[in-house]
Structure 1
């Protein structure tokens, strides 16, 4: 069976059976991760069936960021994905199961599981790229809004005199996690794309900083100098 047919079947199953956890983890997220994975795969030899299945089911169990079992979510998703493949897609190659399970387990930032295969590295990079750039900007505020997290600290938006706290302020999440993602990427192309899209977030921060100072036409050059290439978490 072709990859296109497998994708159509996975897509149809999700539309019928998947209840999304939040706006950042809907079916379109799975499609985008697969699209990005194919871009990262270009020129490399890997099992595309493993990557496709892992991209489509990596967040089949997705727990909120404030859930006490958050670190176990990828393992739970891997078990659920294996159950789905064996039950609802019995013609999916059994030889791919282990690869899919590992790629799903290793995709999560919070789980801290190192990817051991090229397929897992590509899936992890593709998923993390969703947290950067314009899509990442939209997702971080969508998720933060759903959790009741403020956009930023109105008194100290860039944490000049306080500890970073992304559980209270969405903007803090840029520095606690997002801007450091390029250093975690597993593939050369993934690192290149991640740094490019992380710099986009920094430019947003610089524009925000200028607006908060009352300058609606400029960007804050000190923010650019402080947080562009490469960013080290504080």
Structure 2
């Protein structure tokens, strides 16, 4: 099946499954990640089909959307198989998706340029103005406090403890978001990340000013 036709079917599938998600991982997040990936592809030679398929599907089985259980393989494999993709090709897509997640900084490093691009594209959507909005949307969906000045950010020694954390949303900036700028793989993503990172720093400075918790 042609890539564009496959993507149309995948888009419809994702809209049905995630359109009403309020955690910041809905259809529009997928679309923005694909847009970021397309921008990076202008500068990085890679298998465009693999990048776009993995970008569209990277969160469909994520543990955050399935009560802590990763359902990527059981979701992605039958979908791509139904579209006519061969076993080896599907496994390569699954490997890219596996290498995208942050996991408290304990993720498997990207082993291909395709995985590096998708990871960068996903992480770009976690920072800047949209990253701020998504952080609070996710925190709200999980019933987390917006801010607790008595609660300090944590350093997670393993991915499982990161996945189980329940700290306030402001702490998430220090536990993940402010670290992402220095974890980008491609030069163009690093450039894009710097501007978004500066915006988050300005936001936090104003936040602490308005809450009277400046240091």
Q: TM-score range by the shorter chain?
A: 0.7 to 0.9
Structure of greater Rg: 1
> Which residues in structure 2 correspond to 1:93-108 (within 5 Å)?
96-108=89-101
How does the TM-score come out when normalised to structure 1? 0.77
Map of 2:127 onto structure 1? 132
Is contact 2:19–2:27 with CA below 8 Å preserved after alignment? no
> Which residues in structure 2 correspond to 1:45-64 (within 5 Å)?
45-64=45-64
**CA displacement, residues 107-142 of structure 1 (integer Å, 9 cap, x when unaligned):** 101161111111110001101111101111110000
Gaps of 5+ in 2: 155-164
Is contact 2:139–2:145 with CA below 8 Å preserved after alignment? yes
Query: 1:68–1:202: structure 2 CA closer, same or farther, 3 Å change rule?
Result: same
Residue 63 of structure 2 aligns to a residue in which SS?
Answer: coil
**CA displacement, residues 74-109 of structure 1 (integer Å, 9 cap, x when unaligned):** xx314421221002x12x465632331111110101
Deviation at 1:18, TM superposition (A): 5.0
Query: 1:79–1:124: structure 2 CA closer, same or farther, 3 Å change rule?
Result: farther
Higher relative contact order (CA 8 A, sep 6+): 2
Q: Give the aligned CA root-mean-square deviation in angstroms.
A: 2.6
Map of 2:146 onto structure 1? 151
Q: How far apart, in 2, do the equivalents of 1:26 and 1:15 lie? A: 8
Gaps of 5+ in 1: 215-219, 223-234
Choose from 77, 100, 111 the match for 2:72. 77
Is contact 2:97–2:115 with CA below 8 Å preserved after alignment? yes
Q: How far apart, in 2, do the equivalents of 1:11 and 1:45 lie? A: 25
Q: How far apart, in 1, do the equivalents of 2:67 and 2:11 lie? A: 27
How does the TM-score come out when normalised to structure 2? 0.83
